[in-house]
Amino acid sequence: MASTFKRSELPYYAPANTLPAPLPTVEEILAATEFAGPKMRYETRKIPVLKGCYAVKYGRDVTLQEGENMLFIERYTNVPIPAEYIRGRLLHSAWGKLASKEKQAIASQLRRDMDEVRNLPSPGYYGGIWRQQNRDPCVISSRILSFSFLIQHPEPNLVKPMATEQEWADTMASCVRASVKNLPDNWNERRLAILRQHYRRVFSGHPPVFNHGDFSPGNIILREDGKGAVIIDWQ
């Protein structure tokens, strides 16, 4: 990655005088009864809400890499990053009830936020931050290989950092191939070859840039206090 970036030391602790309340203990986290977000299948991820101001994300498919991504964005951009529990509504459930001016303001803010992330100096490769595994569910997951399973049992060739965009495109095609045995019988090598061709045409001529792996209305919170939108789920 560009020499202008410095990796945060882990474990990371925010200065105590910036915290809204003392950090919850492990015992308090495990005993929590209030949770944010939908209940995850097989309970692979939990987000208990504690002391009215903390949302603690933990579980089998939660990694430190997501925290590092958030620390990086917080350090090198002005994009709002959730540092505590944010009360509000997900954009996908609120959008239809918003006025045109509200929609325009939200869209403009999100455009500025993502432009700022994508305009950071290029890391020079395709993959996870600090040359870690790629955890983009749109790339590595399939009908049979769940995102949670892939985090626990990653295929090295599908999650490693990649030097070229063509390699990135071929990896996405390989993910389809990994699940082809569970697709209908009429899915054959010829169709997979065509799919690989299309991936190579679409993903061609673009330098690697920093991005959010799942930038969608389901990962955007409209703050209850009216202070704009916050992008979440930086895995």
Q: Residues 186-215: what's their mean pLDDT?
A: 86
Q: Which one, of 35, 70, 26, 71, lies nearest residue 55 by Cα? A: 35
What percentage of the chain has pLDDT greater than the value 90? Answer: 61
Which letter does DSSP use for residue 179 in this model? T
Q: What is the pTM of this model?
A: 0.84
Q: Quick check: helix, strand or coil at residue 148?
A: helix
Beta bridge partners of 90: 221
pLDDT at 4: 83
Beta bridge partners of 88: 223
pLDDT at 134: 79
Q: Residues 198-209: what's their mean pLDDT?
A: 92
pLDDT tens-digit readout, 176-186: 776 665 556 66
Which letter does DSSP use for residue 48 in this model? B
pLDDT at 151: 44
Q: Residues 147-163: what's their mean pLDDT?
A: 63
* Burial (0-12, 13-18, 19+ Cβ within 10 Å), 136: buried
pLDDT at 222: 97
pLDDT at 150: 47
pLDDT at 194: 86
What percentage of the chain has pLDDT greater than the value 70? Answer: 81
pLDDT at 189: 73
The domain locations on the chain are 16-121+211-231, 129-202
Beta bridge partners of 58: 46
Other CB atoms within 10 Å distance of the CB of residue 22: 10
pLDDT at 148: 45
Whether pLDDT at 43 is above 70: no
pLDDT at 60: 81
pLDDT at 2: 59
Q: Please, what is the average pLDDT of the chain?
A: 85
Q: Residues 56-85: what's their mean pLDDT?
A: 92
Higher pLDDT, 97 or 175: 97
Q: Is residue 175 within 8 Å of residue 142, measured between CB atoms? A: yes
pLDDT tens-digit readout, 81-131: 998 999 999 999 999 999 999 999 999 999 999 999 999 999 999 989 999
pLDDT at 45: 80
